[in-house]
Amino acid sequence: MDRTIETNKDPSPVTQVLAGCKNEIIALFEDAFVRGALESLGFDPQDDSGFFLDDTARIAALHYVPRNRDIVRTRKRTAGVEEHRFVTEGGASLVQEFYITEVRGSSSQQSRWVPYLDDVQIILFLAPLVFWQSLNEDPTVNRVQDSLELWREIVGNQLLAKTAFILLFNKKDVLQKHIGAGVRVNRYVPSYGDRPNDVVSVTKCM
């Protein structure tokens, strides 16, 4: 169930401008020529901003308040190495501290964050199912291929012999949209071969 926060604050100038341009934003996002032009420049409307643009009529309202689903779907690109500290709730004897070190995921950045692997107990590895995308820092490298190479390197690192690994695939919703639109996996990942072009098969292959 979504929870919303009631607010009586007056809309900010930015919100007022956004609300005033709501119809224009919707028209631009739905225009086939605009979508094609963005995609030709490497910008994927469905992936980069698609969730919010699909819901412009609700979000561009003067008194819009984010729902839980909006917050979960909001993403901030990781730059470098970031550390986060969490404390579990409970009685005094049950309080535990967790430290999460978030690192930028491409293999080209590995040398910068390897020193942070010392004394790590669990590695949570996020692998995006975006076979049609390339790395921002190197457009010639496919993101899925980069994830696979990085995964192999980390799992084979002797410093992590006693570390637990959790592998998570994300952006499945974006994958479903692209598969549904008829995008062929083997066009971007030749090694995929003649496997079925559906979400289940792609995920299983990964």
Annotated binding site: 78, 170-173
The type of residue at 196 is P
Half-sphere exposure of 171 (CA within 13 A, CB side): 22
Binding residues for Mg(2+): 78
User: Which residues, 6+ apart, have CB-to-CB distance to 12 below 8 Å?
Assistant: none
Return the structure tokens found at 160.
Answer: 């992590």
Binding residues for GTP: 170-173
Half-sphere exposure of 85 (CA within 13 A, CB side): 4
Return the structure tokens found at 66.
Answer: 């984010």
